[in-house]
Amino acid sequence: MSTESLTWKDALADRMPPSMADEIDTFENQMALRRQGKLDEKVFAELRLRRGAYGQRYDNGFRNDGVTSQEIPFPHKELTKGPDTKWEAPGMQRIKIPYGGMTAEQMEVLADIAEEYSDTILHITTRQDFQLHFIALDDTPDMHRRLAAVGITTREACGNSVRNVTACPLAGICRDEVFDVSGYANETAQYFLGHRDVQDFGRKFKVAFSGCKQHPCGLTFMHDLGLIATSREVDGQTQYGFELYVGGGLGAVPHLAKLFDEFVPPEELLPLAQAIARVYARLGEKKNRNKARIKFLVAKLGIDEFRRLVKEERASLEADPAWTTWLEGIEGYAESGLPQPVSQGQPVDLGDAAAEYEHWRATNIYPQRQSGFAAVTIALPLGDMTSRQMRDLADVVRRFTRDTIRTTVEQNLLLRWIHEADLPALYLALKAINLHAAGAQSIVDITACPGTDTCKLGIASSRGLAAELRQRLVMKEVQYDEALRNIRIKASGCFNSCSQHTVAEIGFYGSSRVVSRHRVPHFHLVLGGEWDNNAAEYGQSLGVIPSKNIPDVVEFLLDLYLRDRRPGEKFPAFVNRVGKKAIKEKVQPFVAVPDYGTDKSFYTDWGDAREYSIGDIGIGECAGEVVTLTDFGVAVAESAHFDATVLLEERDNPASAQASANKALESMLLAAQALIKLQNIDISDDPETILHDFRTYFYDTELFFDPFAKGKFASYLFNAYEQRQQPANREQAKQLVEEARLFIEAAHECYARMAQAGINTPASFKTWLMEQQMQLA
């Protein structure tokens, strides 16, 4: 700022679109009202989320109520002390980048705000967004104004809204696309930004565009609304439009999207999407957030009835000129490269970097369909780059392109329209700013969510694990092995699948177990996902493995694949042929955890020397058996659950789906029974009795409720039992298997919390129950 009296609001007044400026002013006023106690905390929380401002986790001494026992991580930030500091601790800011498209000017502003308001780290997400951490809420209005001045918004980056609209980063240059979907994605994002019909959702709504069906760039099958470019011939004329899918989603219980319409013409894209949004807003769940995504509404109604309601809604909509006026400018999204190579055809001396350049060229280059041009992926380990790197990269973008750069869903950056003759010079420019890592979109390019680093829901260190895996695999140079190169590995810190582990060839998500009366970080091993074909198949868990053994498990699986694969057999096909049951047996040696006194390293997480815990739920010394009947009972439940998973593989057996559903229900009943043994060691095997006692002693008392999911996982058991007489198809069985997995995980957590509180025998349970009753009285 040039003078102390000049504010960012004044300085940028003529550069911000008026609507964006008004939104930011409104949010600043809402912040003031909240401080004065004139705005309810829950209401403000949703308003804050709709501006992309999240709370975040602090494992360095911070508590989420804004009180700290250690120095603030970034001394230039002061923690606001006021009458209500609960939401004033530094948090996370999400920034929307529709279809991933950016300019060099926008990159520079992002670099500036990361440097001035954050910890200088820009993190790219799996939705082509940016995230900045340790942002003071007081700084957000000015930060939003600086972004708005270059056309970037944070509005509805979070909350119950239409999230960032993603699209294939190769759109417009892909060799296999039907047409360029870039403009369609951006116009959809702009149309629904703040639209009145998307303000009353029960949960978030995610949209994705793909230019083709066979590649994973758009991942349309895992979205609430997915659109795939297509064409058809009518009276000898080629017409272009979209296959429209609805009701997909990952999260705790993944659903594949259903085909809504085989062909939607461009002029119907927005009105039909608006009708879908209105039906979702009207009929979607509002009270129970755990069932509020549109995937549950589509599953409940069935795709035929949902389609009928949407068509009916579409017919009733009042015509809006904005549905089609944007089509006139769609050609304006077309890109081109610089007229001449920057290097002017002169050879570039790579010197000692010649061998590294060849490795980089083998993994990071995509020849465009436009002859003579290539797209270059900048691989960002863990999706991170510094503000200095971003600023320097903006200079590189200006030098080699016409502002043709995009973020990707694999947490990387893609430079487009690079003259092939300029690749050596570009490599040296990237090497100078340490953005020249090879292995992009290969097995070493591991996707990871924030996990326990900053996410309040993180159970295990997904980023720590990803960093360790990358280091090991890079040392083995597996990214240059043709058989292994295209295997995707993704790690999430919890079951919510923010890293998209469900559709990876090898996926992991965080969990924990109690061993030797101490907590041990674990990860579920997920196999069977299909990354290709727009994420057309979801994987299933084969069980949990100690975090410290995961790298060894990955190496074992890769060696097993190289040894036993058939000619031309890809990893997912190999997994399906060998079978999850056989693979589970082969990885059993990696499941064991050494005793606490023998090897304490298993009781710490990757990148963290402290003894592992989950917030305040660390397990200390307590009385009781090392292995209890509950331990045994939950283990039996896990075995039954795996049997349910294996039954899903019997696709040729018509009865396998129902058998899998039955076994999934059985596994939940076994887990519930195992918990009840803490209250009644002689609990019967009768399902009605198990349900009654579980509801009485664990649900009604809220013992089974964890801090985040509350009664969500218990409802899976109750609902499954109520619907046990209804026939189940394979998709329904698969959902039930996923729900059973979460119920069993919740049983583990419930038992760990009880053990920590000393409720681990019938006598202690009885004492606890009497104390609760006295408090209620």
Local confidence band at 78 (pLDDT 50, 70, 90 cut-offs): very low
Whether residue 428 is predicted with pLDDT greater than 60 in this model: the reply is yes
Q: How many residues does the chain have?
A: 777
Does the residue 564 lie in any domain?
yes
State which residues form the domain around 479.
442-621
Structure tokens at 750: 């419930």
CATH code of residue 574:
3.30.413.10
Rounded to an integer, what distance in angstroms lies between the CA atom of residue 735 and that of residue 538? 11
Q: What is the CATH number of the domain that holds 727?
A: 1.20.120
Q: What is the pLDDT of residues 98-141, one digit of tens each?
A: 999 999 999 999 999 999 999 999 999 999 999 999 999 999 99
pLDDT at 762: 77
pLDDT at 4: 61
Rounded average pLDDT over 425-437? 97
Residue 22: both structure tokens together: 């008004």
Return d(Cα 295, Cα 293) in angstroms, integer.
5
Sheet arrangement for strand 384-386: 53-54, 91-95, 130-135, 121-124, 384-386
Regarding whether 261 and 283 lie in a shared domain, the answer is yes
Q: What value does the mean pLDDT take over residues 607-621? A: 61
Model confidence at 58, pLDDT cuts 50, 70, 90, reads low
CATH number at residue 364: 3.30.70.3340
pLDDT of residue 371: 97
Specify if 159 maps to a domain.
no
Residues 619-640, mean pLDDT to the nearest whole number:
58
CA atoms within 13 A on the CB side of 154: 29
Asked if pLDDT for residue 64 goes beyond 80, the answer is no
In this prediction, residue 60 carries a pLDDT of 42
- Residue 205 tokens, joined: 């709504």
pLDDT at position 143, please? Answer: 97
In a shared domain, residues 179 and 313:
yes
Task: Tell whether 136 and 180 lie within a shared domain.
Answer: no
Tens of pLDDT along 654-703? 889 999 999 999 999 999 998 898 888 778 889 999 999 999 998 988 88
Domain boundary among 432, 458, 477: 432
DSSP sequence for 451-493? GGGT-TT--S-HHHHHHHHHHHHHHHTGGG-TTTTT--EEEES
Angle (CA) 550-553-555 rounded to 5° is 115
Q: What's the whole-number mean pLDDT along residues 340-355?
A: 91
- What would the two tokens of residue 65 be? 């109520």
Same structural domain for residues 539 and 568? yes
Does position 473 have pLDDT exceeding 80, yes or no? yes
> What is each CA distance from 297 to 284, 482, 515, 723, in whole angstroms?
6, 42, 40, 17
**Among the ranges given (443-452, 699-708, 736-745), the one the predictor scored with the smallest mean pLDDT:** 699-708
| pLDDT value at 416 more than 70 | yes
Answer for the pair 458, 450: CB distance below 8 angstroms, yes or no.
yes
| pLDDT at site 216 | 78
Tokens 């009753």, residue? 773
Please indicate, yes or no, whether residues 749 and 663 belong to a single structural domain of this protein.
Answer: yes
- Range 736-742 average pLDDT: 91
User: Is the pLDDT confidence value at 480 over 50?
Assistant: yes
Q: Give 542-571 pLDDT, tens digit per residue.
A: 999 999 999 999 999 999 999 999 999 999
List the one residue out of 58, 205, 52 whose CA is nearest residue 141: 52
340 within domain boundaries: no
- Per-residue pLDDT at 640: 85
pTM above 0.75, yes or no: yes
The pLDDT of residue 354? 94
Is the predicted pLDDT of residue 707 greater than 80, yes or no? no
278-297 pLDDT, tens digit each: 999 999 998 777 788 999 99
CATH code where residue 54 lies = 3.30.70
617 with 630, same domain: the answer is no
Domain presence at residue 343: no
Taking a C-beta distance cutoff of 8 angstroms, is the pair 112, 72 a contact?
no
The pLDDT assigned to 71 comes to: 33
Query: What's the distance, CA 689 to chain centroid?
Result: 39
Candidates 375, 436, 449; CA nearest to 410 is 449
Count the helices and strands in the chain (H runs, E runs). 23, 20
Domain end point (choices 600, 621, 642)? 621
- Higher per-residue confidence, 680 vs 413: 413
189-215 tens-digit pLDDT: 999 999 989 988 888 999 999 999 888
Same domain, yes or no: 706 and 740? yes
- 94-108, 507-521, 743-757: which range is least confident on average? 743-757
The half-sphere exposure of 501 on its side-chain side, counting CA atoms within 13 A, is 30
- Tell me, yes or no, whether 595 and 632 share the same domain: no
Instruction: Please state, as a whole number, how many other Cβ atoms lie within 10 Å of the Cβ of residue 262.
Output: 11
User: Amino acid identity, residue 732?
Assistant: Q
DSSP-assigned letter for residue 221? G
User: Is the same domain home to 605 and 630?
Assistant: no
The domain boundary, picked from 385, 404, 432, lies at: 432
Residues 374 and 424: their CA atoms lie apart, in Å, by 12
- CA distance to 146, 457, 720, per residue, from 670 (Å): 56, 27, 14
- Whether residues 106 and 172 fall in one domain: no
Residue 776 — very low, low, confident or very high, per pLDDT cuts 50/70/90? low
**Do both 428 and 451 map to the same domain?**
no
What pLDDT sits at residue 339? 95
Q: Is the pLDDT of residue 97 over 90?
A: yes
Lowest mean pLDDT among 252-256, 377-381, 500-504, 708-712: 708-712
Indicate whether 503 and 650 sit together in one domain. no
Lowest mean pLDDT among 44-48, 340-344, 464-468, 508-512: 44-48
Flag whether 161 is in a domain. no
Considering only CA atoms, which of 713, 648, 733 is closest in space to residue 252? 713
Instruction: Tell me what the mean pLDDT of segment 355-371 comes to.
Output: 96
Which pLDDT does position 492 carry in this prediction?
Answer: 93
Kindly state the tokens that stand for 106. 């926008």
Give a yes or no: residue 1 inside a domain.
no
Higher pLDDT, 47 or 335: 335
CA atoms within 13 A of residue 555's CA, in its CB half-sphere: 16
**Count: domains in the chain:** 5
Is residue 392, in this structure, part of any structural domain at all? Answer: yes
